[in-house]
Amino acid sequence: MQIYSDYKDHADFLTIYIREAHPTDEWRMKANEKDKDDVCYVQPKTLEQRIVIANDFTRRFKFPLPFGVDEMNNAANDAYAAWPERLYIIDENGRISYKGGNGPFKYDPKEVRAWLAQRYGDVKHAGTAQANKS
């Protein structure tokens, strides 16, 4: 979200919600069941269920980025080999300019920031600088 705040005047952002990584009926994560972070969902079987979870997510985190939901045929996920999480940058000519690694281990927002910084300069708004200090 900090990268979005810093570079939204230069680039567009789109978050794409894809199939769940750790639903309770598949590879369940104990960390998702702690009180504070309770995030327990079964793998959506319908688009309506996906929409509900996507809305829960944006509401909980007051998520400001533009948002899209992958359809139940998982077309976006399949086209971009996105699961469980991945970052891309598409340039003005509609071509892939940056392809991040598979999350969680190779998911690296710093690479996106570096790409944007190389093109638009190192942008850090006040809130970001403060967040980075803490």
For the bound state, the minimum distance from the C-beta of residue 133 to other proteins, rounded and expressed in Å, comes to 24
Which of 34, 35, 36, 48 contacts other proteins by CB under 8 A?
A: 48
User: Which lies closer to other proteins via its Cβ, residue 46 or residue 132?
Assistant: 46
Residue 108 near other proteins by CB under 8 A: no
Q: Does 125 bind other proteins (CB under 8 A)?
A: no
63-66: Cβ within 8 A, 24+ apart: 63/1, 63/15, 64/1, 64/4, 65/1, 65/4, 65/13, 65/14, 65/15, 66/12, 66/13, 66/14, 66/15
- Select from 45, 64, 66, 114 the one that contacts other proteins (CB under 8 A): 66
The answer to whether 94 contacts other proteins (rule: CB under 8 A) is yes
Residue 124 lies near other proteins (rule: CB under 8 A): no
Rounded (5°) CA angle 114-75-111: 10
